[in-house]
Structure 1
Amino acid sequence: MNAIKVAVLGLGRVGTSVGLALNRYNARKDARQQFEVFGFDPRSGIASAAEKTGAIQHVVRSIYDAAAGKDVVFVALPYAEVQTAFREIADALREDSVVLDASPLKRPSLEWASKLLPAHAHLVGVTPVVNPRYLFDGLNDTEHAAVDFFDDGFMLVTPAPRAAKAAVELATDFSALLGATPHFVDPDEHDGLMAATEGLPALLGAMTFYMLQRSEGWTDARRMGNPAFGQLTHHLVDTHPDDLRDLVLNNRENVARYLSETIAVLTSVHELLMHGDREGLEAALVEAYDTYQVWLAKRTSGRWDEKGAASQEKVSDTLMSGLLGGYITRRLRGDEDRD
């Protein structure tokens, strides 16, 4: 049986962790499929670093060559490069290939794909909500990739309208193999949620540093950076300014709404401080603390309702069991009869 050929485009923390998880499956004694992983990254030295972790078997220098003839193409590129990447890989995609797009925003990706990708390829958006053990840990770089990065987490799945049912099933099975429980989400709902949990935090961290480095006290304050400051501003280390720009600008209505609400809250806190309102400030902080503890417990356990954690179907010995007999599976399993 032929190996399933997977191209991972973008070898930061997410892309490299995908490769590590696939190779973990390859090492299983009961593995019924094997994955051959090809990696590409446009940034100098990143692909070589990913190869050293054992995440990929082949480093490919051209994005076109990386995608050419592959069964699955996993896109985890810096966000500002995704649209161009779609254009560059379009002619390389084989018939019925599945493109799993892990870009932080789904509505723009769906629009780009409809214009740039061929009809014979199937785009499915995927967004990892990662293993809770990594919630406070590490930068978004190759060095912090982990084989269990997706374990006990979720994969938000957003199929393109024209994606074949078999391609969507492949995406959910692929997510389960990585260790995540798949959940379907509407693209507009997805991007609204991402504004709150990704766009707003990134913007606040970057603009906090922007404000401080322009202030009169920066010459002295810059010597005092500790983990709290580093955690707040880490996007300026692991994310290119172009990617931050596009993350908030391409989702500007949602980000602006949350930013307005944040400004209103900060204005209220400013008033509490100016009036020395100890009780008012304490009430706000206690409410935030108590609610945060509830959220953290649920995020860690995955138990979001009274029914408990969502059951995750165990990846069967025959991966992609939902596709058995389907065109894509026959091709992946080496059956060249396409009639």
Structure 2
Amino acid sequence: MTIRMTIIGLGQIGASIGLALKDNPHQIVRIGNDADPHLEQKALKMGALDEVVHNLHTAVSDADIVVLAIPMDEVRDTLATIAPDLKPGAVVLDTSPLKTLVTRWAKDLLPEERYLVSFSPSLNPECLYPPALTSEGARADLFKGGVFVIASPPHTHGGALKLASDLAVLLGGKPYFADPYEADGLMAAVHGLPQLSAAALITAITRQPGWREARKLAGQTFVEATEPITHLDDHIHLGESILLNRENLMRLLDDYIAVLQEVREYLEAEDREHLADLLKEASRVRSQWWQERQKGDWETTPSTEIPTSGHYFARMFGLGRKTPKKG
């Protein structure tokens, strides 16, 4: 049986999912939808899609899987729009960085027997310095060696979770199952805090009287330190995803400010020894993490065998059917 997958949002993540599934034409039909018709045609031309359906209602009406690869501030409205059109058993995979709130929205908006699973990818380490998050940076191996954070509320249908796990493997990554609350805390640390730090850094520097001249000297260090601000998760309401995860971020900001204050005290006291120790340890930890990230061999990541042809996604076709009661 052929599976119909609709990918909503054809930037780097959405188009790359389509490209990674290109070699499975007999198992998966890839339908694409984006608010921007130019991106739809671009994804179709690069081979990331089998067809484009610009009408959102039509695009999801026959879909077995719907992938949301859209800005965080568009997720709730999109769920509300497509909910009446989803067929029983359909699984919605949301790639946005927030878990708890999106699963709550899905509980309120999706009809019975329609399932949402959070499905957020980390990228192939070779792709961690990509172009801006548009279809320009789409590639079939974008997820190779990375992990997919799979989070769902309690009592989520086991078939929906199995489907997400199998898809993670098919895309070249590994599944990492996490509680939604835990996942939000993790994403705040490695995603939200770097964005806020970059915003604060560039704001502090550009407000200095000497910025007019300093900007001519800004090089690799400045580019890399401020680059996270180019990866905001919102399209129109900038900062919305940060506000929605504010409790985790406020806690992390307190810790971050405390470390900055510690550094300031070392500078004020001309404490070379403690400053050097802090920098040395930070450099060591960063180097160790980068080596582990490149290998992608995490002890805590569950292993999943690559599904054999004809078996991956097989369980999803029973999702919309109620189990008959025995005698």
Q: Scaled by the length of structure 2, what TM-score is found?
A: 0.89
Aligned residue identity for 1:327 = G
Give the CA RMSD over aligned residues: 2.3
In 1: Cα distance, 2:59 partner to 2:203 partner = 38
Structure 2 gaps, min length 5: 322-327
Runs ≥4 residues deviating over 6 A: none
- Aligned residue in 2 for 1:226: 219
In 2: Cα distance, 1:256 partner to 1:44 partner = 39
- Aligned residue in 1 for 2:239: 245
Aligned residue identity for 1:246 = E
- Aligned residue in 1 for 2:22: 23
- Aligned residue in 1 for 2:11: 12
Deviation at 1:162, TM superposition (A): 4.9
Summarize the Cα distance change of 1:299–1:55 in structure 2 as closer, same or farther, 3 Å threshold.
Answer: same
Q: Is the 8 A contact 1:303 1:310 kept in 2?
A: no
Deviation at 1:44, TM superposition (A): 6.3
Residue 282 of structure 2: which of 284, 288, 298 is its match? 288
Summarize the Cα distance change of 1:151–1:294 in structure 2 as closer, same or farther, 3 Å threshold.
Answer: same
2:190 is equivalent to residue 197 of structure 1? yes
2:162 is equivalent to residue 207 of structure 1? no
More deviation, 292-301/199-208: 292-301
Structure 1 counterpart SS, 2:6: strand
Q: Scaled by the length of structure 1, what TM-score is found?
A: 0.87
2:312 is equivalent to residue 320 of structure 1? yes
2:272 is equivalent to residue 278 of structure 1? yes
Residue 67 of structure 1: which of 60, 72, 75 is its match? 60
In 1: Cα distance, 2:132 partner to 2:208 partner = 27
Structure 2 counterpart SS, 1:155: strand
Q: Deviation per CA, 1:137-164: give whole Å up to 9, x if none.
A: 4432211111011112211111233532
In 2: Cα distance, 1:106 partner to 1:85 partner = 16
Q: Deviation per CA, 1:18-39: give whole Å up to 9, x if none.
A: 001111333xxxxxx4211111
Q: Deviation per CA, 1:47-69: give whole Å up to 9, x if none.
A: 23322321112223233232222
Residue 168 of structure 1: which of 147, 161, 166 is its match? 161
Structure 1 gaps, min length 5: 27-32, 331-339
Structure 1 counterpart SS, 2:274: helix
2:297 is equivalent to residue 303 of structure 1? yes
In 1: Cα distance, 2:283 partner to 2:11 partner = 32
Aligned residue identity for 1:5 = R
In 1: Cα distance, 2:100 partner to 2:177 partner = 14
More deviation, 194-203/213-222: 213-222
Q: How many residues align?
A: 320
Deviation at 1:112, TM superposition (A): 0.6
- Aligned residue in 2 for 1:55: 48
Identity, in percent, stands at: 36
Q: Is the 8 A contact 1:79 1:243 kept in 2?
A: no
In 1: Cα distance, 2:319 partner to 2:118 partner = 18
